[in-house]
Structures are given as C-alpha cells and as structure tokens.
Structure 1
Amino acid sequence: MSAPAPVEVTARAGEPIRPRAFSSKNLVATITAGYIPLLVATLIVALPLLWMVLSSFKTAPEIITTDIKLLPKSLNLDSYGTAMTAVPFGRFFLNSTIVTVVGALIKVSLAIMTAYALVFVRFPFKNVLFILILVALMVPSQVSILPNYVLIAGMGGKNTLWGIILPGLGTAFGTFLLRQHFMTLPGSILEAAEIDGAGHWKRLWQIVVPISGPSIATVALVTIVSEWNDYIWPLIITDRPELMTLPVGLTLLQNSEGGGANWPILMAGAVLVIIPVLVVFAMLQRYIVAGLTQGSTAN
C-alpha cells in the first residue's frame, strides 16, 4: 500500500495568507490607497503653482477670458521687467534677505541652546518650562499680534527691520523638535566629554550640534520659509516702502498696477518671491525626512 502524497504547506501556522505581490487584489489596494491619494494631494499643491508660473508669461487678455487655456501663446517676459521696476523690488529683496538671515540665525541658535538646556542641564521647574513651550506651540501666532505691536511701537521699533525681527525670535516648534532629538543621543558620549573637562558650551557646539545636522537643518528650513513668507506682522509694523519685505511688496505692486487688474505682473512678482525659497528647499530637502525621523522617538 503506497503512502499518501504530502500536503503542500501554503502558510505558517498563525500567519495570515498574503496575496501575491502582483495579484489583482494587491494592485487595486495599492492604487486605491496609495497612488490615487498621492496624486490628488500632488495636484492640489502643484496645479496652483503651475498656473501661477504659466500665467506670469501670459498677457492680460489671455488670463481675463472665458476661453481658458493652460499654456501661453508665447513666453512674454515683460511682466517680470514691469514687476521689478514698478516697485523698489531690489529693496524689498534686500529687506527680506536681512530679516530672514538674521531672524533665522538667531531663532535656530536659541532653539538649539534651549533644547540642550531642557535635556542636559539640571535646573528647577524644567518640566514646567517645557509644558509652557508646548502651550506656545498650540497658540496661534495671530493672538500675540496686538501685544507685540504695542510693545514694539512703544520701544520705537515701528518702521525698522529689528522691529520686524524681534517678536519672532522664539520658536516653540524648533525647540520641541530638537529636544526630542537630543533625548535620543547616547549619554555616554557626553559623559566622556564631561570627564575630559568639557563644559556645557563645548559639549553643545562640538559634540551635540555636529551629530544633529539633519534635525537642525529641518528646523532651519522651516524657520527660513516662515520668515521669508511672513506677511501679517511686517504689514502691520511697517508702512514705508523702503522697509517692506517681499510679501508686503506684492501688496504695493497690486495697488500700483490697477488694484490687481494686471494679473501677469502680479503672477510674475509672486514667482520672484517664491524662487529663493525653492532654492533653499532644494538644498536642504534631503535632511527633512531624516531630521523629522530622528526627532520622532526618545529613549
């Protein structure tokens, strides 16, 4: 009598049977739950930017029409020249550069030092201070506009660059992200440096900062973008064209060009405003995922 044929084992005990990688069920699930939401989100973000760039090369009749066309008839660069000459665009660019560079540098430095103190320095009520930082992270910045205006105007900071920079020097987000990352650093490295006689200042800038590059770059990128694109506060604290930043300068450009009727010029001005941010993002984007991942867990 012959032995029965062995039964083929298709799955291990206790494990669900998974569909093949290229099965119809798996492909449908991947497209429905993955590619379609990703495509919709990309279109929502990219289409307005694409329309803005293409409109900057069009003429006014091509935009103000019921016969909508995506591509311009020709690459008309006159709008860019008009946008740069109708208002002191160079002065706006210089003001934005000063505000962004100085503000971001101080902001990131304060976030690094504050996060280091919250993790590695012992002092009373440290946890209470961190809770207050979390509260500040949840409060909208618009709430503090009126108190900041009263304070800065009383200090003589109206229509000054330092008046634009000063109220935004604290960053709750940067402090929180860096604190979470610093908590994941191996304590043995800092203990060895302390045994060798390194103080807090040396440990911070020669050990902690060099090994925290991705997280610091992430905070720097977020800070630079927010400083460059800030509109409400510079609009309130300045009313002189020679002290306006680029986002506020777009409002002046709109008023000087017929209250927004000349859309190609406004679109060209908007493109010129976002180009520096895109350049900075392209330089630092590889650090974003790594930086956010490093700060996501703590020991």
Structure 2
Amino acid sequence: MFKKFFCLFIAFSIFPLVFAQTPSVRLGILKGIACTPCAYLIENKAKLAVQNMAFKVFDSEQSELPALLKGEVDLGFLAPQDAAKVFSKGKGAVIFLGVVQNGNLFLLTSDESYSSLKDLQGKKVLSAGEKPDSLIFKHLLSKKENPLGQGENPVQLDFSIPPANIANALITKKADYAILTEPYATVALKNSKEIRRVENFQKIYNESEEWSSFPAMLLVARADFVRENRELVRRVTEVYKSALSWTNQNPAKAALLSERHGLYHSSEIVRSSIPSAALVWRESNTAKSDMEKYLTILGKEIPGEDFYFNR
C-alpha cells in the first residue's frame, strides 16, 4: 500500500514540472538580419512576459515553411509574397500578424560620376533575377525620368551572377552597379572604400504620392493556432515589439546576441546593418494597403480579409 501511495505521490509531483516545461508557443526564426530581434527573445527567454516560449532557427524559408504547415512551430517569418501564396493556396493556413521589416533595397556603385538615377542610362545593374528586388527597381524607374526599356540606351538589369555573389562582384570590380539588401550592402561597403550607397529605394518609394512603404518580411502564425490562442498571439506580438525596440536602440549588443545564437555569423556586419535594415513593427491591418500595392507590383494574388490578424 505504501509503495503504491509513494508511486502516486512521485507521479503527481513530477506532473506539474512536465506541464510547466511544455512550450506555450513555438517560434520559428530565420537566419539573417530580419530576425535579429529574436536573438533578444532567445537570450532573455526566462524573463519574457510570455512564459515557456520555444525557439527553432531555420536556414531558410524552404526549411521553415514545412515546419509551420505541419504544426512543428506556431509562428514564423515569411516574405510577403510567400505568406500571401500560402494563404491563398493553403485555404487560409497562415495569418499575417505584422510587418517586421520594411524594404531595405539599395543601389551601390563604385562609379564616382554617379549623381542621380538618370546616370544609369545605358548602364548594367546587377540584380537577383526576376525577384522582388528587380521588380521594385523596374517599377520605380518607370515612375522616374529614366523608364526602363525605353529609349536608345535603357537601363539593363543583369541577372548573370547568383544573388549570393553580387556583393563580391561589386567588390572585385566585375560590376559597377548592383542592387543589394542588408546585410549584403554593408558587406560590400566594408570591403571596398570605393563603393558608395547612392540610392535608397524605400526612400524613393516613400516619396511617391501613391505609395507609402513596401514590406520585406512578415511575422505570421498558423491559422488554427490563432483561432485557439488569440490572446496569447497578441501577447507574443507585444513581446516581439519590445525586443525590436531594444534591438534598434542597442545595435552593438543586439549584434553580439545575433552571432551568439546563430542568426548571423558576424556581429560586426549585423551591428553596421541594423540602422539601415528597416526593422519595424507594423500591425497587419494598418499595413494592408501597402501590402496589396506591393503584391500588385510583384504580380501576385491579393489575399482575402481573413489573412489579416484582428487583434
């Protein structure tokens, strides 16, 4: 009898400990600059307002997305066009919580004579293929004095170099112009004193009367998780906003945490990238118009109202 009682006592004593260790929410994190605030979350896991958060770092969206759809993580990060596609093709499988990074698209050059976009007439500009980078560039040029593809010497987008090698092509003078995002823009600048950051396409985009800001990365969640845990999801977004604020205010410390937790291999590059990486928080419902305009430029399907998180 005593033995049976003792076993029951041990079982009930351990149960609360096991329950306490069950993650309340599992966050998938992408390596790179966009998810830098997550390094703060990992570092301060025990102090967060949302207890028992679990984190898993992924090399790319290609590895993160299956985990999200299979329910291995509850929240994750996706590019706008990918999140919209998953929603439309996956019968509303994910919900858009907020923008975590605006566009950080830059024109860099070693050409000392460059002064404005009109100087690109007849020039080759390296870009990462028919992807958002080049599509945004084409759109902006079509609204400026140098429409792409018009006239005798149009701007020529060069897709011949793999995206990962574009910064190096600029550094080694295999190209005079390139479109780069962070952290690649910072890598190029740190490796050549001749290279300049001459255009910020987000700024040009913002100056247009009909546009505001274009998103580059979103925080999303599985729709079924949101339905069952709406208040928890809201609290997670608040925790993320705090981490974001700390990151932008403390780039050097944030960079060290990013390297420590495997989000990027060089704290020096992260520290220098943060000021121009456009790390933000914008509620999905307030970013709806910009999201739809951006997807229209990319030629993507516009998701329905259920795509946007209703707090």
TM over 0.5: no
Shorter-normalised TM-score: what interval?
under 0.3
The structure with more helix, counted as a fraction of residues: 1
Higher Rg:
1
Q: What TM-score, normalized by structure 1, do the two folds share? A: 0.24
Q: What TM-score, normalized by structure 2, do the two folds share? A: 0.23
The structure with more strand, counted as a fraction of residues: 2
